[in-house]
Amino acid sequence: MSFIIALLAGIFGYLCGSLSSAVIVCKLFGLPDPRTQGSGNPGATNVMRVGGKLPAIITLVGDLLKGLLPVLLVKLLWPEAEMAWLLVGLGAFIGHLWPVFFAFQGGKGVATAIGVLLAWHVWLALSCIAIWLAVFLWTRVSSLSALIAAFCAPWLAFFMMNDKQQPMMVLAMVALLIYRHRENIARLRSGEEAAFKRKS
């Protein structure tokens, strides 16, 4: 029974994650599909380029919530079924990367990963957010900030989380996030990655 619950939780998480906040928000605001504009990434950063701050903020919140809420729901219904709430989070993250409802053209997963981590272990999530913010304020490069925070996440998880299953799930999520940032990594290595300009 626990295996079935965990499997269903993973599928439920994947379907929730497959709701592309960027595409939905841009459609509601009458903006172009973010998959065809700017960087082509359906995430908050590209929505900022396409439509400005408000659509980007709504996209960011939507991406975070679709990682957070499914995990909280499963934890509420089956608090002892740890594998179920781990798989629902991983499923939501994978759904964001490869959404079944949007031709498997998903985002990079940073906001959704933070939402999942907030539900798994709030202090781990806040630590990653603090690292992201510190690096971003220093470099103004969103992708570099995300990659450094992601690199730190598994190490923090092994110290902060309760057992081996939880850090391994964090490691799996981080591996996928780094894979989705492979083009950003190439641009960082060549010095071509764009930075956010400081306002005077």
pLDDT tens digits for 28-84?
999 999 999 888 889 998 999 889 999 999 999 999 999 999 999 999 999 888 999
* pLDDT of 171 strictly over 50: yes
The pLDDT of residue 162 is 77
Mean pLDDT of 108-130: 96
Question: Could you tell me which of 179, 69, 165 has the C-alpha nearest to residue 116?
Answer: 69
The pLDDT of residue 3 is 83
* pLDDT of 4 strictly over 70: yes
CA dist list (Å): 32 to 35, 37, 50, 55, 69: 8, 7, 7, 12, 28
User: Which positions ≥6 away from 93 have C-beta within 8 Å?
Assistant: 13, 17, 67, 109, 112, 113, 116, 173, 176
Q: pTM for this one?
A: 0.92
Q: pLDDT class for 200, splitting at 50, 70, 90?
A: very low
The pLDDT of residue 142 is 85
Mean pLDDT of 147-169: 91
The pLDDT of residue 39 is 82
